[in-house]
Chains A and B, each alone.
Chain A
């Protein structure tokens, strides 16, 4: 790879700088065009925030007429703040929305194909064929498109190659079926004395729910009835999934309530189900790790996943002109075109196919270590989104305590699912 700046590039930059300086002198100060400032509010933090900051810095360095003002915060309050900002008439020009939240957040967003400035997607040449199909299709609600996908993020199987070797397992052949998985668990437990498997990251309630959902969705189950009016998970599939999750502990392969993030980074667990955001931590831990698809526990391989999407929150005409809306969508396009950086530094899988296939990403360590297999899961349609419903947060909150109590071996799976079902139905009825 060529290093540094070529003579031609240097001359081009030098001439460009000189011309810019001359142009500045040739016009009075009041005639200088001020750059359009786009407020971009995200819900990213730690590694994600650092990666997005890098991208925005690159944008601001490459553009003179448009500048991004980036503000990043915690995801838990992000949507409430977004609603408040839209209601108060000072919404950011660009925001982030999870695919799973479109159904209750759409009222705060601009429909991109029928904005007051026209079809913004056409203006920026944003075409669905250039995005991962399943991610793109999920960005429409009630016939209107609100979301431009940025990434896929999902869970996968991280494993410790050294522990595999100690257990007599091939470190380059991680398990893909339930039988292989159980054989690996037993080998790790009996021959290394370490925890064989951790199914749910740091074991927060929402992580335990996701682990159960992976097992449940793999049997073709869905949380709600098709009309979204009743819970549909308290059946033999839901019970089998929760029984299996609980059995992991009863067989001595897992200890509930422990933090898989820390244990894996400390070399104390053989296999971990965790998201792609774990990549920077895994790389920095010093553990000799590998990554693979989620095993096929039941009928078909499935993993939990969601997507970050770039959105334009609703703007007031008196504050935001049509020209600014156009600049916002062009900026969104630019971010997509550079989302290989989001993959390399943030550990996410770009939803924009040209970025996903860029040489820079394909040759990166991130791609080789993990992102390639994450990407394959996404393109194979193995990613299952969270329930998409206006009351999704409350539905999740109704399920999590009960599932967690079963996972902690303090409530039978049957009772847990019955409790969760009753509460979900109460939420849906209110």
Chain B
């Protein structure tokens, strides 16, 4: 060691004990500073969340306890709005339709998404796959209004391309949007066509993340085809499935735009869903309190089903 370096080293070593003792903060203080740092970073986001998410939710719950009039004639009625809902056959019809719609769209969209993703993954090396993937994804880029109008036109009883095609094949198709039994399935089909592409991308990304070694190991063990799918791929897709399930479940329960545009809740009330029921009471009948109560019910439904999804699928992938 050179003389210069040695001199510096000696100086540091000589002073270290005393300085170290004075400079090191206590463990409690260090922890407190750390917590403050965390709070400091989270504060802006927490403020926005409280202001624009939690605040409106609580405000909506509050409105549901009143006979609410925007002109100021506000009257506290407690749970009266909820009791009116319970006694309203129209509400239960809307709830049943909403559950039916979710039962049709959630499995349908997820199955379609997984199926498309697996197909594309199987042929991932081929050039045409990119174009097929883009084509399947394209509907997701459309606005709900466009989707509703397009499918309303396609299913038009007089001029719709779908009915004209079916009739030209010699079939006698139902008038889809004006048949009680077919109205909701028709909207569910249009919704699946619209949203499946995005779920496909989610699952496709999840499949790409699976290490190649796992496939090699599975092949060594003799797992192919259905066995490979059921024992290896699907368990590994659980996180993506959870995300897609929550996303699709929420879409199913708050469905509104395509119903309003395609059938307006008809024929009769065969396709009136909770969100449309809420819209009618809030913006057509000017009964904001009851509309807010419906909103609370929808919120509770989505929250409980989301929690059930987490419990059922867990937070992480198997193994």
A-B interaction: yes
Please report the C-alpha to C-alpha distance between residue A79 and residue B157 in the assembled complex, in whole angstroms: 33
Please report the C-alpha to C-alpha distance between residue A95 and residue B84 in the assembled complex, in whole angstroms: 33
Q: How far is the CB of B82 from chain A (nearest CB, A)?
A: 14
Please tell me if the beta carbons of A83 and B264 are within 8 angstroms of each other in the complex: no
Please tell me if the beta carbons of A408 and B72 are within 8 angstroms of each other in the complex: no
Please report the C-alpha to C-alpha distance between residue A76 and residue B286 in the assembled complex, in whole angstroms: 11
Q: Is B266 an interface residue (CB 8 A)?
A: yes
Please report the C-alpha to C-alpha distance between residue A259 and residue B163 in the assembled complex, in whole angstroms: 15
Please tell me if the beta carbons of B267 and A80 are within 8 angstroms of each other in the complex: no
- Interface-lining segment among B141-149, B243-251, B276-284: B276-284
B residues near A108, Cβ cutoff 8 Å? 71
Q: How far is the CB of B46 from chain A (nearest CB, A)?
A: 28
Please tell me if the beta carbons of B286 and A404 are within 8 angstroms of each other in the complex: no
B residues near A80, Cβ cutoff 8 Å? 282-284, 286
User: Known: A86-B70, A405-B268. Is A76-B158 also a contact (CB below 8 A)?
Assistant: no
B 297-309 to A, binary, CB cutoff 8 A, 1 in contact else 0? 0000000000000
User: Known: A86-B71, A205-B266, A404-B268. Is A76-B159 also a contact (CB below 8 A)?
Assistant: no
User: Known: A86-B70, A87-B70. Is A405-B267 also a contact (CB below 8 A)?
Assistant: yes
State which of A84, A104, A262, A405 has its C-beta within 8 Å of the C-beta of B70: A84
Please report the C-alpha to C-alpha distance between residue A49 and residue B2 in the assembled complex, in whole angstroms: 91
A residues near B70, Cβ cutoff 8 Å? 83-84, 86-88
State which of A77, A262, A408 has its C-beta within 8 Å of the C-beta of B267: A408
Please tell me if the beta carbons of B175 and A257 are within 8 angstroms of each other in the complex: yes
B residues near A107, Cβ cutoff 8 Å? 71
B residues near A256, Cβ cutoff 8 Å? 178
Name the interface size band of chain B: 20 to 34
Q: Is A204 an interface residue (CB 8 A)?
A: yes
User: Known: A87-B72, A257-B178. Is A393-B285 also a contact (CB below 8 A)?
Assistant: yes
State which of A262, A401, A404 has its C-beta within 8 Å of the C-beta of B158: A262
A residues near B266, Cβ cutoff 8 Å? 204-205, 401, 404
Please tell me if the beta carbons of B284 and A408 are within 8 angstroms of each other in the complex: no
B 180-212 to A, binary, CB cutoff 8 A, 1 in contact else 0? 100000000000000000000000000000000
B residues near A140, Cβ cutoff 8 Å? none
Please report the C-alpha to C-alpha distance between residue A100 and residue B180 in the assembled complex, in whole angstroms: 30
Q: Is A430 an interface residue (CB 8 A)?
A: yes
Please report the C-alpha to C-alpha distance between residue A104 and residue B283 in the assembled complex, in whole angstroms: 13
Please report the C-alpha to C-alpha distance between residue A423 and residue B84 in the assembled complex, in whole angstroms: 13
User: Known: A205-B264, A401-B268. Is A393-B72 also a contact (CB below 8 A)?
Assistant: no
State which of B89, B156, B284 has its C-beta within 8 Å of the C-beta of A76: B284
Q: Is B219 an interface residue (CB 8 A)?
A: no
B residues near A77, Cβ cutoff 8 Å? 283-284
Q: Is A258 an interface residue (CB 8 A)?
A: yes
Name the interface size band of chain A: 20 to 34
Please report the C-alpha to C-alpha distance between residue A205 and residue B282 in the assembled complex, in whole angstroms: 20
Q: Is A394 an interface residue (CB 8 A)?
A: yes
User: Known: A205-B266, A401-B268, A408-B178. Is A259-B158 also a contact (CB below 8 A)?
Assistant: yes
Q: How far is the CB of A264 from chain B (nearest CB, A)?
A: 11
- Count, A-B residue pairs, CB within 8 A: 70
Q: Is B269 an interface residue (CB 8 A)?
A: yes
Main secondary structure of the interface of A (DSSP, over half): helix
Please tell me if the beta carbons of B267 and A257 are within 8 angstroms of each other in the complex: yes
State which of A263, A410, A430 has its C-beta within 8 Å of the C-beta of B84: A430
Q: How far is the CB of B71 from chain A (nearest CB, A)?
A: 5
Q: Is A397 an interface residue (CB 8 A)?
A: yes
Please report the C-alpha to C-alpha distance between residue A87 and residue B178 in the assembled complex, in whole angstroms: 39
Please tell me if the beta carbons of B267 and A404 are within 8 angstroms of each other in the complex: yes
Q: Is A230 an interface residue (CB 8 A)?
A: no
Please report the C-alpha to C-alpha distance between residue A104 and residue B71 in the assembled complex, in whole angstroms: 12
Please report the C-alpha to C-alpha distance between residue A290 and residue B41 in the assembled complex, in whole angstroms: 73
A residues near B90, Cβ cutoff 8 Å? 423
State which of A84, A88, A257, A393 has its C-beta within 8 Å of the C-beta of B157: A257
Please report the C-alpha to C-alpha distance between residue A67 and residue B119 in the assembled complex, in whole angstroms: 62
B residues near A259, Cβ cutoff 8 Å? 156-158
Please report the C-alpha to C-alpha distance between residue A398 and residue B69 in the assembled complex, in whole angstroms: 22
Q: Is A148 an interface residue (CB 8 A)?
A: no
B residues near A79, Cβ cutoff 8 Å? 286
B 66-90 to A, binary, CB cutoff 8 A, 1 in contact else 0? 0001111000000000001000011
B residues near A204, Cβ cutoff 8 Å? 264, 266
Q: How far is the CB of A100 from chain B (nearest CB, A)?
A: 13
Interface residues of B in 105-161 (CB under 8 A from A): 156-159
Interface centre among B70, B84, B159, B269 (most CB of A within 10 A): B70
Please tell me if the beta carbons of B283 and A76 are within 8 angstroms of each other in the complex: yes
Closest to A422 in B: B89
A 220-233 to B, binary, CB cutoff 8 A, 1 in contact else 0? 00000000000000
A 88-108 to B, binary, CB cutoff 8 A, 1 in contact else 0? 100000000000000010011
Q: Is A391 an interface residue (CB 8 A)?
A: yes
Q: How far is the CB of A399 from chain B (nearest CB, A)?
A: 11
Closest to A392 in B: B285
8 contacts between A and B (CB under 8 A): A80-B286, A83-B69, A83-B70, A84-B70, A262-B159, A268-B158, A408-B268, A430-B84
Given A84-B70, A402-B268, A408-B268, 9 new contacts (CB under 8 A): A79-B286, A83-B69, A83-B71, A108-B71, A203-B178, A205-B266, A401-B266, A405-B267, A423-B90
Q: Write the residues of chain B forming the contact surface with A, with a CB cutoff of 8 angstroms.
A: 69-72, 84, 89-90, 156-159, 175, 178, 180, 264, 266-269, 280, 282-286
List the 3 closest pairs (A to B, CB-CB), nearest first: A87-B70, A257-B178, A401-B268
